[in-house]
A and B are shown apart, each in its own frame.
Chain A
Amino acid sequence: MVLTLKNIRKSFGEKEVLKGFTFSAESGEALGILGRNGAGKTTTIRILMGVFPADSGEVLVDGKPIDYAKTGIGYLPEERGLYPKKKIIDQLTYFARLKGMEKADAVKSIDRWLERLGMSEHRNQELGTLSKGNQQKIQLVTALAHDPDIIILDEPFSGLDPVNAILLKDVVKEEIALGKIVLFSSHQMNYVEEFCSSIVILNGGEAVLQGKTDELMREHGKNLTDLFVEYASDRI
């Protein structure tokens, strides 16, 4: 599967946030979408997920306009939060069913993920009783339980302790190995370098640098942080 965002333009009032942003990502690959705060990453993600339409441009899967009924998307937003007063299993089931899963399948998948993330014992607790890091792991289940084709992770490592960070790294690698498309947005360049075989740097509403991560670093003779500083900073 190939996901392509082609020439996406989007303005909010007078401000043009995206000015013809184009990138593509393939199955079994993680693409790092990098940019400074306000560069338009969240707007891009929302257009990709169909929250609002682009002013112009296309979101394509294998060359055809995306069909959300057929292409599953899992999203871990940067701004985390679920229902603090609801039981974890109840709300995870709810979110999985909103994505179209049957109840029994949803519960089975959620239990598997809770087990994988070491959260099974908290299954029947209210979310608000968990630590921030554990709540984040629960939120990750909402992004993965319905077995999506495209996984969007926005700053997934912020707030995680080193043990949980390793656990999450393993999970992301497994998903990549399963042939998922992972879109990864982060300011922690070490993680980007570790996962993302490709990157795209978004600046001033358009892609200013994109390509294979290792090739770009080799060509420019710079590490990823230095590349980011060079390409992401000058236009804002």
Chain B
Amino acid sequence: MKQFKTILGFELTNYFQNKVFLGVTLFLVITIAVVTNLPGIISAFSDSGVFGEDTIALSVADGLDGEYYKALFSSAFEGSTIVITGDAEAMVQSGDASCGFYVDGEQNLRYFVPNITLTDTRGYTALEVMRSAAQFTGLLKSGVSPDEAAAILNPDIELETVNLGVDQTQNYLYTYVMVIALYMVILIYGQMVASAVAAEKSSRCMEVLITSADPVAMMFGKVIAAGAAGLFQLVAVFGSGFFFFNLNRGALESIPIVGSLFDIPLELLIYMIIYFILGFFIYAFLYGAVGSMVSKVEEVGSAILPVNFSFIIVYIIVIFSLSSGSIDNIAMKVCSFFPLTSSMAMFARIALSSVPLWEKLTSVAILAVSVFGVGVLSAKIYRAGVLLYGVKPTIPQIIKALRRA
């Protein structure tokens, strides 16, 4: 235990003395600070007129009431200024308006725009405005009073949803964030563990280490230090995100995706933390074992490919199931008990469907036992692997070496 603490302390210091690690963490925190303050920054500039206000030019054919259409468009394009002009097209061309409309009769509308962007919906909005206006006038012409016309066009219908399970629209975001964060942390920190072990072996430092410390303590110390460093980075990123979110709550809460991100239910948060930690460790141990089987740091990249591939396949299954909406399909059910896949698959199912408690507990128990088992096995591979120099050992050689160890 004393050796484990010494190793953990030493490895953690390595991470926290690493300028790249600290730099990346700081960069992420600053990026979050800037992004979360963006609405405030933009409005500060808007007030001083730097960005200017959005102007929409509006022309109407002779005989039509310009003011009537201005009022209609103003209500549809809230926040934009509608300017009546004789030539909307010219105004758009000169850059005085971001877009323009020409109302050529009640059922004819022309839309002027400098470039059609991917997200441009203003043409359709104007079309809807015109359609409603035409329906309204049509009803008036057939003798319906304005109040009755309004009631016909906007009937008061209420929808009451009774949710018997979880709210996928709410939980979808956490699941995506968790799955992607786990994916990145495992790939980045797992590879760091593998490289660190391979570097010790290639510098022959291993000769001293293996004769000074218990390989199980070495493996657990290294992996837990990498996990703690990764967790620190995540807490720094999400913690600062939460801090800045609260500072700018007024501006950010109106953006639904941001508002729901920090509104995660406690139970889901607990499962997230459990699956995140266990999911990370099972892979980090594998990466450590692989790192001990190569002789040089340059060989780490190719040696870890099988672990990377298996992990990427799981990621794809989970992401596809998330996108398809059928989160409880057979593949996901199988994956949610298999220890290498359950961290992502079972968490996604817990967040997005109703999973019985026994399934959750079984999955966590299988994963926890497997983490310990894989940890001990990795330590054995580590002990056998660190003494194998030269060409990369084959699987039968590793099994033989394991027996020797």
Interface residues of A (CB under 8 A from B): 12-13, 46, 49, 51-52, 73, 75, 77, 79-84, 86, 90, 94-95, 97-100, 139, 142
Contact = CB atoms under 8 A, between A and B. Distances in A.
B203 A82 contact: yes
Nearest to A12: B404
A46 B387 CA distance: 10
B213 interface: yes
Nearest to B11: A94
A142 B209 CA distance: 10
A100 B203 CA distance: 24
B18 to A, nearest CB: 10
Interface of B: 2-3, 6-7, 10, 13-14, 200, 203-205, 207-213, 383, 387, 400, 404-405
A80 B205 CA distance: 7
Given A51-B387, A94-B10, A98-B3, A77 B405 contact: no
12 contacts: A46-B211, A51-B211, A75-B211, A79-B204, A79-B207, A81-B204, A81-B205, A81-B207, A83-B203, A94-B10, A99-B212, A142-B208
B208 A95 contact: yes
B400 to A, nearest CB: 6
Contacts of B7: 98
Contact of B2 (A46, A81, A90, A100): A100
A40 B205 CA distance: 21
B395 to A, nearest CB: 15
Nearest to A78: B207
A80 B204 contact: yes
A141 B168 CA distance: 61
Contacts of A97: 6
A142 B204 CA distance: 14
B309 to A, nearest CB: 30
A104 to B, nearest CB: 14
A90 B404 CA distance: 33
A94 B6 contact: yes
Contact of B6 (A80, A98, A142): A98
| 8 tightest Cβ-Cβ pairs between the two chains A and B | A81-B204, A77-B207, A81-B203, A98-B212, A79-B204, A97-B6, A49-B211, A98-B213
A100 B6 CA distance: 9
Contacts of A139: 208
A82 B404 contact: no
A13 B400 contact: yes
B334 to A, nearest CB: 38
A52 B404 contact: yes
Contacts of B14: 86
Nearest to B18: A85
Contacts of B400: 13
A216 to B, nearest CB: 30
Given A81-B203, A82-B203, A98-B6, A75 B208 contact: yes
A13 B402 CA distance: 12
Contact of A77 (B2, B10, B204): B204
A142 B200 CA distance: 16
A97 B209 CA distance: 12
A235 to B, nearest CB: 24
